Structure 1
Amino acid sequence: MLLWLNGPFGGGKTQTAYEIQRRLPGSVVCDPEHVGFGLHRTLRMLPPSLRRDFQDLRAWRQGVFEVLDLALTRYHGTVIAPMTVVEPVYFRETVGRLREHGHDVRHFALLADRETVLRRLRERGIGHLVGALAGKQTALRRESFAVSKLDLCLERLRAPEFAEHIRTDRISVPQVADHIAASAGLTLAPNTDGALHGRLRRAWTGVKHIRFD
């Protein structure tokens, strides 16, 4: 089974993915953004005016399909893919194509009010500090990109083709994970984190996924 966690940038996809992975033995996170990392570097060969979002490249959609198809065919545990995809054509070429090949794909769009997502992006401000210490501004640029795409993401993801929708404004990351597991017929281990331990765990997950390129 594949759990594809969609949502706006800063919507909690990565945190939820690793919460599920932590509490579901045998599960694995396969982040489609890693396919984009190499393509992002490749795009640097082009003049700045020709560089674009790596999702616009057919190579990214094909690569995501091939990697997840391999994982779902050869691996016997649950595969979790946290990735924002709001272009309907790109969605059909990834999620839709995997379904056409017979894979059990459960898609969830994690939605929240605009103000909630903006607050979460501000809370990721540790990335700005780490980036500044490293002498780079990539973290800041990524947050700016996330804000610039926020309204489009929230509008597109409300469409029926992007269901199942989960409102995350008033529930915690462990509760979002519980909702997804129940909908997919999976059983998670109990969440034994206290409030402080949970916040520290999620902060560390965020730090580990800061990009500097």
Structure 2
Amino acid sequence: MLVWINGPFGGGKTQTAYEIQRRLPGSVVCDPEHVGFGIHRMTPPSLRGDFQDLPAWRQAVYEVLDLVLSRHDGTVIAPMTVVEPAYFRQIVGGLRERGHDVRHFALLAERETVLRRLRERNFGHVLRFVVGKDAPLRRESFAVRKLDLCLERLRGEEFGEQVWTDHLTVAQVADHVAASAGLTLSPATDGPLRGRLRRTWTGIRHIRFD
């Protein structure tokens, strides 16, 4: 089974994916964004745009996920924002046509909630302490530019099932996604401090420096 976790940038996809992976033995996270990072590293900055617009990215993601789903026995989790219907049909629809069981979830939240999460992720807590809670989201400019489009598109029927996360913890979102997909997670045993430390470490591991 493939669990595709969609949502706006900063919507909690990666945190949810790794929470499920941690509590679901045999599962793996296959992040399609890494394919895009590789494409960017192969091209000069002047040629870098949205890698999702490249047919090579979409085909590569489809082929890699098809390979993993065909040969790995456990659940595969893909955290990735995709809001262009044609791109979604090419990848997710293509995998379903291949006979794979694909469960799709769009993590949604109110605009202000997502903006707050963007400010707080990675080293955001440190930045807010140094320059104030209303510090501009310079490193997240792409995410902010895409936010309204993401929230609008992901409300569409094609991108169901939607999960509103404003008042849910990461563990609760993971529980909801797993239950809807028919998966059984081990209990969430983290206390508030351990949970925050775990989320911070997950965020640090996925910081981009290029």
Q: Deviation of residue 85 (structure 1)?
A: 0.2
Map of 1:17 onto structure 2: 17
| Count of aligned positions | 201
2:88 to 88, 91, 99: 91
1:209 to 191, 203, 206: 206
Corresponding letter in the other structure for 1:165: Q
Q: Cα deviation per residue 1:57-78 (whole Å; 9 max; x = unaligned)?
A: 0000000000000000000000
Corresponding letter in the other structure for 2:161: E
What fraction of aligned residue pairs are identical, expressed as a percent? 78
Map of 2:36 onto structure 1: 36
**RMSD of equivalent CA atoms:** 1.6
SS in 1 for 2:42: helix
Distance in 1, matches of 2:72 and 2:28, equals 9
Q: Cα deviation per residue 1:77-120 (whole Å; 9 max; x = unaligned)?
A: 00000000000000011111100100000000000000000000
Distance in 1, matches of 2:89 and 2:121, equals 31
Q: 1:175 to 1:128 in 2, by over 3 A?
A: closer
Corresponding letter in the other structure for 2:3: L
Instruction: Give the 4+ runs in structure 1 shifted more than 2 A.
Output: 127-130
Corresponding letter in the other structure for 1:194: G
Map of 2:133 onto structure 1: none
Given that 2:108 and 2:163 are in contact with CA atoms closer than 8 Å, whether structure 1 keeps it comes out as: yes
Higher helix share: 1
Given that 1:127 and 1:207 are in contact with CA atoms closer than 8 Å, whether structure 2 keeps it comes out as: no
Map of 1:63 onto structure 2: 60
Corresponding letter in the other structure for 1:189: S
Q: Deviation of residue 43 (structure 1)?
A: 3.0
Distance in 2, matches of 1:3 and 1:43, equals 30
Gaps of 5+ in 2: 128-136
